[in-house]
Homo-oligomer: A and B are copies of this chain.
């Protein structure tokens, strides 16, 4: 049985000795945040809570995944924001690191997976250069059914597909993932007879990775989605109640909130695992779009939000670490370690001509990586830089499911502590209106 992922804040205690006083001081607020989130959950407005349960054992996603698997060589996910970053997270973490470059046999016959969240013409041409469009399934994802980038890409690609493969084959190659009851995409899908999957009305884009949004392409590439959901359920049961010492999602939120209170508006995630590279981008959207809000108070408007920053260990020790250590003390660091990797490489004894490297001989890459992790933890702590770590027993669908759920819950708690709505994104609407006007949309 997979062990749970663990948040360990012992380094925070060393770096900022009075941190526990700060945590204790806000325990009533933390408990209130937990009650508020539970109450919203009970009233059905926070749909992401239900996803681990709703989708267990369901056949619709699996049936369509099987259909794609049997009939196509490639799958292109057309989406943007929450309809793209979750897919990248899952593939980056759980598929082969060079999945799309494997032979079909090494992919066990599963299609290659591409995520298209750009409207850059040159990268679209690049994608078309390497795909046989007739052997490609397109999963177009937009909850509202009207996301302009997604629909523009969809219209361009559908048109090509019809021309190259014919209208009948095109209809069979397109899968629409959208709201169950309204929107332009749903209208087209019904008229054309596309296969359709639904996003629950109460699940926002950046909280949707465990819905059909993320699960379909995961299932197509052979990721065990039951295990993923089971991991999320595990985290849901594990992170419970208003005591931060018993609920690590609440402790995570408490540390981030205290960091913000104490002049650390930048929140760095730094996984020491290449598999978690795309987790960073997913986190950045979740954190930025949920918590970057202006709130009205009796004293006027206050601009809230932490700036999320993705770093990667060990690479960014040779890039960002100098700033992290000697620059302004305005950051809180979450370091991620993975206890057990699938592979091990022994470093051979160095040549006699490089005596300085002799100490590496007989050690392993993993030991070197672990040593660098500990070194970074240690220098950050020594300089009083607030940091804590999250340990994953391994990288598996179960632990990734846990991690996703932990972070969605932590974000919901942060919304309560910040006093902002963590589930809307009002500011981006203004830019959309300007785009509509520039593009000549009627009435704009």
Residues of A in contact with B (beta carbons under 8 Å apart): 80-82, 84-85, 96-98, 100-102, 106, 117-127, 129-130, 146-149, 151-153, 155-156, 158-159, 184-185, 187-188, 191-192, 205, 265-266, 272-275, 281, 284-285, 288-289, 291-294, 303-305, 307-309, 312, 314-315, 317-331, 341-348, 350-351, 353-354, 356-361, 363-369, 371-372, 374-376, 378-379, 382, 395, 425-428, 430-432, 434-436, 438-442
Contacts and interface: CB of A to CB of B under 8 A. Distances in A.
Nearest to A424: B322
Contacts of A293: 322, 326-327
Contacts of A106: 129
Given A118-B314, A156-B365, A327-B307, A125 B342 contact: yes
Given A294-B326, A341-B121, A348-B156, A188 B354 contact: yes
B80 A343 contact: no
Contact of A319 (B130, B185, B289, B305): B289
Contacts of A98: 126-127, 129-130
Contacts of A329: 303
B375 A432 contact: yes
Contacts of A281: 319
For the complex of A and B, the 5 pairs showing the least CB-CB separation, nearest first, are: A292-B323, A81-B318, A305-B327, A97-B126, A292-B327
A346 B121 CA distance: 10
Contacts of A344: 121
Contact of A363 (B100, B318, B434, B439): B439
A359 B441 contact: yes
A328 to B, nearest CB: 5
28 contacts: A80-B315, A98-B130, A117-B318, A120-B272, A120-B341, A121-B342, A121-B343, A121-B344, A122-B341, A122-B395, A148-B360, A149-B314, A149-B368, A155-B350, A156-B347, A191-B351, A192-B351, A288-B323, A288-B327, A292-B325, A304-B328, A305-B327, A321-B427, A321-B431, A325-B427, A371-B435, A374-B434, A379-B431
Contact of A375 (B82, B368, B369, B438): B438
A292 B375 contact: no
Given A356-B146, A357-B151, A317 B347 contact: no
Contacts of A345: 121, 124-125, 156
Contact of A317 (B303, B308, B382, B431): B431
A314 B354 contact: no
A320 to B, nearest CB: 5
A414 B128 CA distance: 42
Contacts of A119: 314, 365, 368-369, 372
A275 B122 contact: yes
Contacts of A146: 356-357
Given A289-B320, A323-B291, A435 B129 contact: no
Contact of A80 (B80, B318, B368, B395): B318
B369 A120 contact: yes
Given A102-B129, A375-B435, A379-B430, A326 B307 contact: no
A372 B431 contact: yes
Nearest to A272: B120
A155 B319 contact: no
A427 B322 contact: yes
A315 B123 CA distance: 13
A127 B102 CA distance: 10
Contacts of A315: 80-81, 84, 117-118
Contacts of A184: 350, 353-354, 356-357
